[in-house]
């Protein structure tokens, strides 16, 4: 869970006077207070629509399994973040068990959602590079085992959060024990698993998928020139694969773009030293909030990207309200 504090300074009369005279800080605090609600307003119905649309489609293979799981984890991530900050903001006593649970689940759900997208990209890369063998090895059962393994690995990586997080009654906030290097280590573990590693893998995957598609088109054209009668791929299969690639490429490209600011901020944060109660501090805090807005938006935009990029997904969604219960029409395929 992103370490977004409710207020950046200790509460005092001097702080309030300073904040009232700082338009930059006032803007940053407004973003901090409301941006999750805006993202949830777009993300929750979009993720729900994704789940319903995909489930109603005919083919529920490994890719659609990833899409549904991604929508579920995105929704869970946003819900936990809203719950966490609303409980702390309302002044209710969250308690140490509540802090441990919400901190762990907030980090886990957000990171797992990003890694589901990573698994989707890796599977599509293998499907493009090895189209004749991918159906044999990447079965739905194996995809489930891979998902479970990745989920357990992320859970094990975040397990140290549980013993070091506690509820500070005086500050009314969830804090970490400062008597060891573990909090600093977990910050880098969180940043790496949530942002850096998925960013690198997805950026490379998009480049490799693009090159593989270009090479496959060259081979296909060459084979068609040799024998146009003997080499006739089924239009249905080609269309489905094209739709899947469009959905994936659009989602991963936007994910990389939205995640880049938080990666850049984390790298520069150590070297960008500022003094409190200065304009430079306000600018840095505003940049942090903008980076959080962009990276949290990754949990809300996938439905809209699917709708814009994939014709079959768009058709399946728009036909849902008009499809009669006893319709004999053939469901959409993905």
pLDDT at 19: 52
pLDDT tens sequence across 278-302: 888 889 999 999 999 999 999 999 9
pLDDT tens sequence across 125-183: 887 777 777 667 777 788 899 999 999 999 999 999 998 888 888 877 888 887 778 88
Q: Answer yes or no: is pLDDT of 107 > 90.
A: yes
333 within some domain: no
Between helix 235-269 and helix 311-319 the angle, nearest 10°, is 100
Our measurement of the distance from residue 3's CA atom to the centroid of its chain's CA atoms, rounded to an integer in Å, reads 17
Please say whether the beta carbons of 293 and 31 come within 8 A: yes
The pTM for the full model equals 0.81
Residues 69 and 282: their CA atoms lie apart, in Å, by: 38
Q: Where in the sequence is the domain holding 266, given as residue range(s)?
A: 13-318
327 within some domain: no
Helix (H), strand (E) at residue 89: helix 62-90
Structural domain total, the chain:
1
Residue 324 vs residues 55, 188, 328: alpha-carbon distances, Å: 17, 52, 9
| E strands in the chain | 165-168, 173-176
- DSSP result, 122-166: HHHHHHHH-TTTHHHHS-HHHHHHHHHHHHHHHHHHHTTHHHHEE
The CATH number assigned to the domain holding 313 equals 1.20.1070.10
For residue 99, give both structure tokens.
């802090």
Helices (H), ranges, 298-330:
302-309, 311-319
Residues whose CB is less than 8 angstroms from the CB of residue 31 and which lie 6 or more positions away in sequence, other chains included: 286, 289, 290, 293
77 within some domain: yes
Q: What end-to-end distance do the CA atoms of the chain give, in Å? A: 33
For residue 316, give both structure tokens.
């399946």
Residues 160 and 165: their CA atoms lie apart, in Å, by: 9
Residues 328 and 10: their CA atoms lie apart, in Å, by: 65
Residues belonging to the chain: 334
Closest CA to 8 of 133, 234, 173, 145: 173
- DSSP result, 1-60: -----S-SS--SHHHHHHHHT-HHHHHHHHHHHHHHHHHHHHHHHHHHHHHHHHHHSS--
4 within some domain: no
Q: Which residue has the higher pLDDT, 9 or 322?
A: 322
Kindly compute the dihedral angle of the four CA atoms of residues 157, 162, 165, 169, in this order, to the nearest 10 degrees: 160
Q: pLDDT class for 197, splitting at 50, 70, 90?
A: very high
Residues 29 and 8: their CA atoms lie apart, in Å, by: 9
pLDDT tens sequence across 238-251: 556 677 777 788 88
pLDDT tens sequence across 85-99: 888 777 777 888 888
Helix (H), strand (E) at residue 236: helix 235-269
Phi, psi of 199, deg, nearest 5 = -60, -45
179 within some domain: yes
Residues 302 and 176: their CA atoms lie apart, in Å, by: 33
39-43, 183-187, 217-221: the lowest-pLDDT one? 217-221
Percent of residues, the chain, with pLDDT higher than 70: 79
- DSSP result, 192-209: IIIIIHHHHHHHHHHHHH
282 within some domain: yes
Closest CA to 196 of 251, 119, 115, 298: 115
Residues 248 and 102: their CA atoms lie apart, in Å, by: 30
């Amino acid at each position: 869970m992103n370490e977004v504090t409710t207020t950046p300074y200790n509460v005092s009369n001097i702080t309030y006077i300073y904040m009232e005279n700082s338009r930059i800080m006032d803007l940053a605090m407004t973003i901090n207070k409301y941006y999750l609600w805006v993202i949830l307003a777009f993300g929750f119905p979009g993720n729900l629509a994704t789940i319903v649309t995909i489930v109603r489609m005919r083919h529920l293979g490994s890719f659609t399994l990833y899409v549904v799981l991604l929508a579920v984890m995105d929704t869970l991530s946003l819900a936990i973040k809203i719950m966490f900050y609303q409980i702390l903001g309302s002044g209710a006593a969250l308690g140490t068990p509540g802090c441990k649970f919400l901190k762990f689940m907030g980090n886990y759900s957000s990171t797992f959602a990003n890694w589901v997208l990573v698994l989707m990209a890796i599977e599509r890369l293998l499907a493009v590079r090895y189209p004749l063998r991918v159906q044999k090895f990447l079965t739905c059962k194996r995809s489930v085992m891979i998902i479970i393994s990745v989920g357990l690995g992320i859970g094990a990586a975040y397990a140290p959060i549980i013993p070091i997080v506690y509820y500070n009654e005086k500050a009314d906030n969830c804090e970490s024990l400062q008597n060891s290097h573990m909090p600093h280590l977990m910050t880098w573990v969180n940043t790496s698993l949530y942002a850096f590693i998925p960013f690198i893998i997805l950026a490379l995957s998009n480049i490799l998928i693009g090159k593989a598609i270009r090479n496959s088109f060259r081979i296909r054209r060459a084979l068609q020139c040799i024998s146009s009668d003997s080499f006739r791929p089924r239009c249905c299969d080609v269309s489905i694969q094209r739709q899947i690639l469009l959905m994936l490429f659009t989602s991963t490209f936007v994910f990389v773009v939205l995640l880049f600011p938080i990666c850049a901020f984390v790298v520069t944060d150590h070297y960008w030293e500022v003094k409190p109660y200065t304009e430079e501090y306000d600018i840095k805090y505003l940049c942090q909030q903008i980076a959080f807005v962009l990276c949290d938006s990754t949990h809300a935009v996938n439905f809209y990207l699917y709708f814009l990029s994939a014709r079959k997904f768009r058709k399946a969604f728009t036909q849902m309200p008009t499809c009669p219960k006893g319709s004999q029409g053939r469901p959409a395929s993905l």
